[in-house]
Chain A
Amino acid sequence: MKNKKKTSILKVARVIRSKNSGPFELTLDIMFKERRYYQLFKEKKIITPAKIAHLYGISKAEVLKIVYFEPSQAIKITLRRKIPSGAPGDTDIYGAQQHAPLLYLTF
């Protein structure tokens, strides 16, 4: 790619969401509009634990796993919840509004 200008993930993603995966994990899904974008992200390893850690201001150890799911052309990222669901200090019991940092991702 000669064009060095970065592209927003919003140009290629159809769904970006977050949700609890049990009370101790937060899981983030990115589903792509087209298969080629999914392939691009997969091949170029655009999503890495380091990048997620940077976006969320957490350590890499708090990124449990990143899974590529072919049938949905989706990437799933699972994080440790800083505070388990409903424990004192929690801000989002269902974990449904923790996806926003992903929307700032460029590549």
Chain B
Amino acid sequence: MKNQKNKKRLPPFKILSTTAILGYGFPESSFKRGLSKKPDLIAADAGSTDPGPYYLGSGKSFTNRTAVKRDLRLMIKAGVERKIPVIIGSAGGSGARPHLEWCLDIVREIAREENLHFRLGIARADVDKDVVLKALNQKKIKPMPFVSELTPEAIFQSENIVAQMGIEPFVKLLQKGSEVIIAGRSYDPAVFAALPIYLGYAPGLAFHLGKILECAAIAATPGSGSDCALGILEEDDFILEALSPERKFTPQSAAAHTLYEKSDPYQLPGPGGMIDLRECSFEDIGNGRVRVRGSKFIPADPYTIKIEGARLIGFRSISIAGVRDPIMITKIDSILKSVEIKVREILKDNGNNGKIYFHVYGKNGVMGELEPIKKILSPELGIVIETIGKTQEEADSLLALTRSILLHYGYEGRISTAGNLAFPFSPSDVAMGKVYEFSIYHLMEIDDPANFKTEIEEL
């Protein structure tokens, strides 16, 4: 196709990425500058697994509703008024049904308040447990590195299971005339790459550009996740442009971003294939702009997508306290061990088998087992006592007991006999609620990548 002489060259396709995660905000001045460049697409990624398994498991968003509404209002208003498609992926942070509904609710509210009318495309990322189980039985599921093999038990226990969709469901919704698309869990670059790939731009360039734009201006210097960036896709390259006078893209800043949050910067696997950057080059073309060439896409057969799930494993309570006694600090490890033994002794007949964790800041609270410095160098320690029980009551009572035993524990050599802990707060104990863990983080082979549930809603 590429060598066809009579083929019309594709015009530059401009993508306005507003913010690294919907709800992280962006300056209106940058957004206006972006709009003045007459973009062909306004898009943002709204999700991540980074904030941990709680959000996918609980169905809650890790972003703030007011902040998400503010970002969406600016994007949708500008997009609908100017007839520029607006695409959001991984709605509500984790992109499962409750997150998507949360985001759709905000979109409908904005449409009402601003008296905007548009065709809303919706793509759902939830995967039925039966579908996952069937794929498991057909040996179509593989774990990601360091993840254990998937079990039927893990599938049944997962609260929400989502798949990272590729571009196909977006294309389906664009073909149906969607002006705004809100999708559940999506491969981050898909919201930026779907429309241009559909229009005929090279997938390697489109996906690589999407990979950079999904973090908005983080790849500029100085980087920011709360500022807009412009990507201009051309037939054989793409250009990155900052939209605030305080930032620019440099070959180094753009290349460095390619390293961010991934294990291999040359080969970036995604739905249905891999972005191959082995022949990629970054060139400074002046005025804070960078031209990128050579990014390729290598399709994979079979087509695999990443599936994610989180399961409830209990309830958490915590108490925060400080220690300043130098005698106690030198013996902290043995004291904490003895305290746990005492707690277990008292509880041995009541069936409370909850877990106790001491996060000792000033010792190894940040790195745990990985901490190479074993000697305590700080004059004070911060201790977060954490308990996890089968119920909140179990976690609460385990914490209360552990906290009070540590407070009054008569360790050897103690001369401070009134209390071992400085509590900054009353009450000292906090019920933290449900605890989740990632139960699914696997690749699943699928036959039809467009086979995500899609809907059209006229607003």
**A residues engaging B (CB < 8 A)?**
15, 19-25, 27, 29, 31, 55-58, 64-65, 67, 69, 71-72, 74, 76, 78, 80-94, 97-98, 100-101, 104
Complexed CA–CA distance, A32 and B252 (Å) = 11
B153-161, B196-204, B431-439 - interface stretch: B431-439
Complexed CA–CA distance, A64 and B147 (Å) = 13
| Pair B388/A88 contact, Cβ less than 8 Å | yes
Chain B interface size, under 10 / 10 to 19 / 20 to 34 / 35 or more: 35 or more
Could you say which of A22, A71, A81, A87 contacts B49, with CB atoms under 8 Å apart?
Answer: A22
| Pair A98/B367 contact, Cβ less than 8 Å | yes
| Pair A91/B146 contact, Cβ less than 8 Å | no
| Pair B441/A22 contact, Cβ less than 8 Å | yes
| Pair B259/A78 contact, Cβ less than 8 Å | no
Q: Which residue of B lies closest to A70 (CB)?
A: B255
Complexed CA–CA distance, A92 and B365 (Å) = 9
5 A-B pairs whose Cβ atoms sit less than 8 Å apart in the complex: A85-B49, A86-B54, A88-B357, A88-B388, A98-B370
- The A/B interface has a contact count, at CB < 8 Å, of 133
| Pair A27/B435 contact, Cβ less than 8 Å | no
Q: Is B175 interfacial (CB 8 A cutoff)?
A: no
> Closest Cβ of chain B: how far from A103's Cβ, in Å?
10
Complexed CA–CA distance, A87 and B357 (Å) = 12
| Pair B369/A57 contact, Cβ less than 8 Å | yes
Q: Is B246 interfacial (CB 8 A cutoff)?
A: no
| Pair A86/B437 contact, Cβ less than 8 Å | yes
B14-22, B261-269, B330-338 - interface stretch: B261-269
Main SS at interface, chain B: loop
| Pair B259/A82 contact, Cβ less than 8 Å | no
Could you say which of A57, A67, A81, A88 contacts B435, with CB atoms under 8 Å apart?
Answer: A88
| Pair B144/A22 contact, Cβ less than 8 Å | yes
Complexed CA–CA distance, A106 and B179 (Å) = 56
Complexed CA–CA distance, A19 and B49 (Å) = 12
4 extra A-B contacts, CB within 8 A, seeds A74-B259, A74-B265, A91-B364: A19-B260, A64-B145, A92-B367, A94-B50
| Pair B262/A21 contact, Cβ less than 8 Å | yes
Q: Is B313 interfacial (CB 8 A cutoff)?
A: yes
> Closest Cβ of chain B: how far from A88's Cβ, in Å?
6
Report chain A residues within 8 Å CB of B419.
none
Complexed CA–CA distance, A41 and B281 (Å) = 22
Q: Is B23 interfacial (CB 8 A cutoff)?
A: no
